[in-house]
Amino acid sequence: MVRGALGEPIREHFDVREVADAEAAWQAVLLDSSIRAVIADAIVPALRGFELLARLRASKVQRIRELPAIVLLEGGSETNSRRAAELEATALVVNASPGADIAVEMLSRLRMLVELSTTREALVESRTELDSARTVDPDTELLTVAAFDKQVEKLLSYARRALSDLALICVRVELNVAQGAANAPASIADTEQRMKLVGRALAASVRLEDLATRSDSAEFCVATQNNGMTDMLRFAARLRKVLENVDSAGPGVEVWTCIGVATLSEELRHGAAELRTQAQRRAQMAQTARSRRIMLGTSEAARASGFDPNAETGSMDIGLALALIGSGRGAEVVPHLPRLVQQLNPLLRLIRQQQNPATAAGSAPPPKK
């Protein structure tokens, strides 16, 4: 929408497309992605220049929403100048008979706007390329999801050739504020920072041969070679113990985890993304049910491995029990007391032997007279 006298200098440097009104201009912008800038006439009421600018800025399409715009205004109208500024448009005051100086000024502004737009697009493209090339999240030191899936695909390919198995363990995390905690997370940003601490704890605990990623804002996935259901469940329980350590999310915050597991042996055709999605779905089921049970594919698999759904094998040991008791969470230790006593029995026997060395050594009776 450019007046003839103003359009001539622009046509010498740009391809110009003129339309009759705001509706035609809107359709042109929608259909033609090569349009780099818009010049809207707000002087002639029938052209509805401000209406076009409002539709551009309200668009859900980023390319359209961020199009540079120049609006032609009559002199002395502060209201229109303010309205142009609100719509992020460059205002250009035009007289009834615009001269060559106005045309030169409009061409200069148009060049500057197009160059700025091109530079911004190049920066966005460069940032996107850098993000896609990055393989490790610097905040958690875990693999990015894309890099994780790519590496898992390689492990799956090897596992199929070697007739071995691969397990993908998904851990969903909830942060609970301890009673009386002075450093509890008070905002979304603070909660995000705590989740990064949990991610770093996970990165420091996984083995060199395992892969780990932060798959969602409060979710982590680990891929590991599956050497049997019992060993895999113990490994998952160890991850739980690490993440539920009283200091993993910082002081004053308790970590609650829900775990789901998916294995290659369930469906050999599954790819990395499908396997991860399956594990995520099972972890979500555990979270919805508020269950401490490690969710597997079938109940038969749990029974075959000797997995107790009421208390995961290896999920509690003496060190964790003492840490929980010290942090005022002794009630969580009570269900595991029988197993803890079994773990302590060898130590207790050794202590008794050291306290009664004569009995332990089996000393001979005194000689007969």
Rg from Cα positions in the chain: 34
| Beta pairing class for 165-177 and 253-263 | antiparallel
What gap in Å lies between CA 234 and CA 127, rounded to an integer?
41
How far apart, in whole angstroms, are the C-alpha atoms of residue 297 and residue 36? 53
Give per-10-residue mean pLDDT for the chain (369 aa). 61 84 89 88 75 90 88 77 84 62 80 86 76 79 92 92 90 78 60 89 89 94 87 88 77 86 85 93 92 71 38 55 64 80 86 74 53
User: How far apart, in whole angstroms, are the C-alpha atoms of residue 214 and residue 212?
Assistant: 7
Cα separation, 50 vs 71, in Å, equals 8
Instruction: Using alpha carbons, select from 295, 314, 179, 169 the residue that is nearest to residue 241.
Output: 314
pLDDT of residue 339: 82
351 in a structural domain: no
Q: Please check whether residues 198 and 290 belong to one and the same domain.
A: yes
Instruction: Please report whether residue 146 resides in a domain.
Output: yes
Of 285, 311, 296, 287, nearest to 173 by C-alpha is 287
Sequence letter at residue 122: A
The pLDDT, as a whole number, for residue 208 is: 87
Domain ranges, residue 167: 137-330
Residues 6 or more apart in contact with residue 39 via CB below 8 angstroms? 1, 2, 69, 70, 71, 72, 106, 110
Domain-located, residue 342: no
* Three-state secondary structure call for residue 208: coil
Three-state DSSP at 176 gives strand
Contact 317, 241 (CB under 8 A): yes
Determine contact, residues 48/24, Cβ cutoff 8 Å. Answer: no
Judge whether 173 lies within some domain. Answer: yes
- Average per-residue pLDDT for the chain: 79
Do 114 and 176 lie in one domain? The reply is no
pLDDT score for 313: 43
Report if residue 348 sits inside a domain.
no
List, in sequence order, the alpha helices (H) in the chain.
Answer: 4-11, 22-31, 49-58, 62-65, 78-86, 100-133, 145-162, 188-205, 229-243, 272-288, 299-304, 318-326, 337-355, 357-361
The reported pTM is 0.50
| Whole-number pLDDT of residue 334 | 85
What pLDDT shows up at residue 279?
A: 94
Residue 157 shares a structural domain with residue 26: no
Q: Which residue has the tokens 């002395």?
A: 76
Quick check: is 158 in a domain?
Answer: yes
Which pLDDT score is estimated for 324? 60
Flag whether 361 is in a domain.
no
Query: What one-letter code names the amino acid at 64?
Result: I
Q: Are 88 and 124 in contact (CB under 8 A)?
A: no
Domain boundary among 83, 105, 133: 133
pLDDT digits (tens, 9 = 90+) for 97-141: 555 677 778 888 888 888 888 888 888 777 767 666 678 888 899
- Shortest CA distance to 47 belongs to which of 73, 83, 20, 28? 20
What is the spatial distance between Cα 362 and Cα 126, in angstroms, rounded to a whole number? 79
- Evaluate whether residue 58 is within a structural domain: yes
Q: What pLDDT shows up at residue 307?
A: 40
Domain shared by 127 and 148, yes or no: no
Q: How far apart are alpha carbons 236 and 170 in whole angstroms? A: 9
Asked whether residue 190 falls in the same domain as residue 301, the answer is yes
- One domain, residues 167 and 70: no
Residue among 356, 364, 320 at smallest CA distance from 339: 320
Distance (Å, rounded) from C-alpha 256 to C-alpha 228?
Answer: 26
DSSP class of 182: S
Q: Are residues 185 and 299 in the same domain?
A: yes
Q: Mind giving me the DSSP string for 163-174?
A: T-EEEEEEEEEE
Q: What local confidence, expressed as pLDDT, does residue 19 receive? A: 85
**Residue 111: Cβ within 10 Å count:** 14
Question: Do residues 80 and 187 share a domain?
Answer: no
Q: Residue 213: phi, psi to the nearest 5?
A: -150, 160
User: Which residues are 172's β-sheet partners?
Assistant: 219, 258
- Is residue 146 located within the same domain as residue 295? yes
Residues 144 and 253 grouped into a single domain: yes
Q: Do the beta carbons of residue 171 and residue 256 sit within 8 Å?
A: no
Domain containing residue 72: CATH number = 3.40.50.2300
In terms of domains, do 23 and 156 share one? no
